[in-house]
Structure 1
């Protein structure tokens, strides 16, 4: 290097800082992607998040009652616990008890496949009837 000639040596990060800076850059890029930020030069704006899908109460009731009915019938009818430990409302538990009684009789008379079909039909019909007018408001677990 001579007098008056600028140094051509490039500045670099110290080795111990490089991983931290790299992690920060990855974090910033991920955060920008989640926030919907676009590349300033791309000409696009933020992307909206998709709307969450909610499950209608009658469909949720049907799934829960059917799942528990199949499980209890497969276990030989042994009880699992109270309705709250199953994640059911009192009304859903009443539907489950009705469905189980009918499904057990059907299994004795016509076999497990017929009982399974009956369980699904009765659960869907009963849950649809229960939630036809909206969510029951008799109480917090009704």
Structure 2
């Protein structure tokens, strides 16, 4: 599967859970470890509305994993599609495919408060519970 090309311009499309961020705006990096036990550690993170965060996914397993941000409904729908078309290539700013022993980054601007999700949508991984949640706290007024 292709990795996101860091030199290509990122298509910024507003999603329910935010928009692709600029690396220069990152003030915080959160490392999420992935393993073949089909879990993310930590499985819950908190950010504040307006934060641009680097989500660094470290694959400590022996198989390919990925991290995809979204709503629970969108992730479930995408996971079903991945089961039907396991070779389907997808590469968006809100996802990172990480080979064993490697790491991948997502730079994301959380511009809407709420509760959102992340998951590994590789067939079988999502179904085994490889999911997590993101709470975006409202901006301090």
Compare the two structures and name the one with the higher helix fraction: 1
Please indicate, yes or no, whether the TM-score normalized by the shorter chain is above 0.5: no
- TM-score, normalised to structure 2, is 0.25
- TM-score, normalised to structure 1, is 0.25
